[in-house]
Amino acid sequence: MQTPEQLRTFLDEQADRFNRPEFIEDDPISIPHRFSKKEDIEIAGFLTATIAWGQRPVILKNALELVERMDMAPFSFILEHSSQERKRFNSYVHRTFNGVDLCYFMKALQQLYNTEKGLEGCFSTSFQESDADMGATISSVRQKFMRYRPQVRTGKHFADPSRNSSAKRINMFLRWMVRKDNRGVDFGIWNKIPPSALYIPLDLHSGTVARELGLLNRKQDDWKAVTELTHRLRKLDSTDPIRYDFALYGTGVFNRYQRIKNA
């Protein structure tokens, strides 16, 4: 069984290997990296994270199509678009996320930027109101986002930790916005939520590697597993535990993980 120091060394090495600009090109984060304005980055990031499931090339293609339909100016489009202009998105499809869902998301985003100081304002306010509980924060933002009475099916595309969802895509989006390490991958453009409060974007790849390493016992990839794994990672790095997402996800996706043998 590996010692805690061996485990930390392994994870540090893997995080350093993948937390580099070279990681960006084939990752969904490449879409918001096409922009320089804060609001463009966060809107492109939020919508890209929303559809970030399935094959990576398809995710990248459909996310790029989405921002191109917004004339590569997502913030201006969200603020200024009319219900008539939303019709250009009726034909949009990414797996089960279709034009109906996207049109609602655009309407809700428009309202957030008009009434809640945008995505950062909404998340930051909910974070403070929930006493820095990230699960409660995400559930609160979801409630605000879905209050404009979408079809029931649309609500399935915004995960809810209070229903034990792993909320992988929202946690990934929050990692993009909050983490600050000057490595060139995550943006770190939100200032009112500390990186220490983030939770791991748990999926099949990171969950598999975490279980191999003895960091995660729970078999289901749900919010309870997210909480368990995040608490373990905080023991390794209390200020920036989610940097280890690069280690767990990267080694899982790129098949570079080798089991640490019993010492």
Collect contacts of 75-83 with beta carbons under 8 A, ≥24 apart.
75/37, 75/39, 75/40, 75/43, 75/113, 78/43, 78/106, 78/109, 78/110, 78/113, 79/110, 79/113, 79/114, 81/106, 81/110, 83/107
Does 261 map to a domain?
Answer: no
Domain count of the chain?
Answer: 1
Q: What is the pLDDT of residue 259?
A: 43
**Closest residue by Cα to residue 64 from 19, 97, 33, 98:** 33
Asked whether the predicted pLDDT for residue 169 surpasses 50, the reply is: yes
Residue with tokens 């392994």: 10
Q: Give Dmax over CA atoms of the chain in angstroms.
A: 65
Q: Are 216 and 225 in contact (CB under 8 A)?
A: yes
What gap in Å lies between CA 104 and CA 194, rounded to an integer?
30
Whether residue 54 is predicted with pLDDT greater than 60 in this model: the reply is: yes
What predicted TM-score, i.e. pTM, was given to this entire model? Answer: 0.94
pLDDT tens for 57-70 read 999 999 999 999 99
Q: What pLDDT sits at residue 71?
A: 95
Please give the angle made by the CA atoms of 145, 149 and 222, to the nearest 5 degrees. 50
Q: Domain range spanning residue 120?
A: 4-253
262 inside domain:
no
Confidence of residue 242 (pLDDT cuts 50, 70, 90): very high
Number of Cβ within a 10 Å radius of residue 262: 6
Give one word for 4, left, alpha or beta, with left for phi > 0 and alpha for psi -120 to 50: alpha
pLDDT at 195 over 80: yes
Contacts of 30 (CB under 8 A, 6+ apart): 24, 60
Query: Does the pLDDT of residue 161 top 80, yes or no?
Result: yes
Q: Is residue 49 part of a domain?
A: yes
Per-residue model confidence (pLDDT) at position 1: 59
User: Which spans in the chain are helix H?
Assistant: 4-18, 38-50, 56-69, 74-80, 99-115, 118-129, 134-145, 152-155, 168-178, 204-212, 223-236, 244-253
Res 152: pLDDT: 76
CA distance 124 to 230: 20
pLDDT of residue 262: 38
CA distance 165 to 223: 5
Mean pLDDT score, 164-190: 97
* pLDDT tens-place string over residues 250-260: 888 875 444 44
Residues 222-259 as b/e (b if ≥16 CB within 10 A, e otherwise) read bbebbbbbbebbbebbeebbbbbbbbbbbbbbeeebee
258 lies in a domain? no
